[in-house]
Amino acid sequence: MNPRDLADLKLLAWVIAFSVSIGAVYGGATNEFTLTNLLRGGLTGALIGGTLTSIELFYSQRPGGRWLAKRPFAIFVLIKSLVFALIIVVLIYGPDLLFEGRQSVIYIPDLLRDLAFSLSVSFGIILFVEIDRLLGGGVLLRFILGRYHRPRVERRIFLFADLIGSTALAERIGDLAFHAMLDQLFFDLADPIVRHRGEIYRYVGDEVIVTWREAEGLEAGRCLACAVAIQETLGRLAPRYRDRYGVEPRMRQVLHTGPVVTGEMGDLKREIVFLGDTVNTTARIEAAAKAAGRDLVVSGPLLERLALPAGLAAEPLDAVELKGKAQPVSLYGLVGED
């Protein structure tokens, strides 16, 4: 099981547990506090919360749900509202078959009450999931818990992935087509990033910046595996991009690690930012990789802590004196072995 599926299953388990408790309390409050009503309410909550969250995690946020995610927001909300309402109506009265062996008479006022409550709770959960996805996995919870309200120093790994030849490409296909291609590209790259537990820090033009806390990125070589998976994804999807945009996109990727100051910043637009020499050095490594004509470059401090996967070899590059650095930084280009 890949890390993305495991993380989604853990989240689904938490949502079901929460939905059971809410459903049980609601079932007892709207009827009598009997064991049957508590069990019925808990089961209904589990069915509704589990079903809607499963749709969100395993369809809406996966490639299969791309058609819906790309719709205008109003249509997106309307379609989800209709689908969720239909599912909730079915699931609210489904437990009657289990507890009574038959479908009870549906009273419209009770149905509307139950539907309104279920929709409000379900959309609260889904809204949390959607906002967390937009901010970057786990960021919303950190805001709520105030993890970075006070800045802290932590070690992080950064992956800068930049589209090669973007300027010439934009001139050739036009700005609108280039925007559509970038949007599609970042959508496609989300899967390998999430599968390897990367956090998308931000998009900067035609570049995506991914980060891990150092221990998580080093575990099983996750950060390097992510970079390789991005290359493999681009190779697999190359025919589709060639047919649609007349180009097979390639990304220049660099990896580096070190200490950063992590903290919240801003007022009207508040976000969690990473500051320090490590981020600046990674940007300069990217410039060095471009000058050397390399697609995948890893800094020496990071490479010495990674085990290269089979089929990948490290070639030392000339020591690079990066602008603003007192000492040269050792760099290695990673290439496939013959």
Range of weakest confidence among 87-96, 158-167, 218-227, 300-309:
87-96
Q: How far apart are CA 308 and CA 146, in angstroms?
A: 37
Q: How far apart are CA 225 and CA 237, in angstroms?
A: 18
Counting beta carbons within 10 angstroms of the beta carbon of residue 45, is it exposed (0 to 12), middle (13 to 18) or buried (19 or more)? buried
Looking at 168-250, which runs of residues are DSSP E strands? Answer: 199-204, 207-213
Strands 152-163 and 296-299: unpaired
Q: What percent of the chain has pLDDT over 70?
A: 80
Please give the structure tokens belonging to residue 225. 């595996």
| Distance, first Cα to last Cα, the chain | 30
Nearest to 96 by CA among 166, 47, 146: 47
More confident residue, 64 or 310: 310
Q: How far apart are CA 206 and CA 67, in angstroms?
A: 23
- What are the CA-CA distances from residue 15 to residues 40, 228, 284 (Å)? 17, 33, 43
Length of the chain: 338
- The helix/strand/coil state of 103 is coil
φ, ψ dihedrals at 204, nearest 5°: -125, 95
pTM of the model: 0.73
Tell me what pLDDT residue 226 has.
94
CATH superfamily of 147-336: Nucleotide cyclase, GGDEF domain (3.30.70.1230)
Mean pLDDT of the residues in the chain = 82
Q: What is the mean pLDDT of residues 247-275?
A: 87
Nearest to 197 by CA among 181, 182, 219: 219
pLDDT digits (tens, 9 = 90+) for 39-77: 878 888 888 888 878 887 777 767 677 677 667 766 766
pLDDT of 103 strictly over 60: no
Looking at 228-283, which runs of residues are DSSP E strands? Answer: 251-265, 271-275
pLDDT digits (tens, 9 = 90+) for 110-151: 777 777 777 776 667 666 766 666 666 666 666 676 666 788
pLDDT digits (tens, 9 = 90+) for 293-304: 999 999 999 999
Domains of the chain, by residue range, sit at 3-135, 147-336
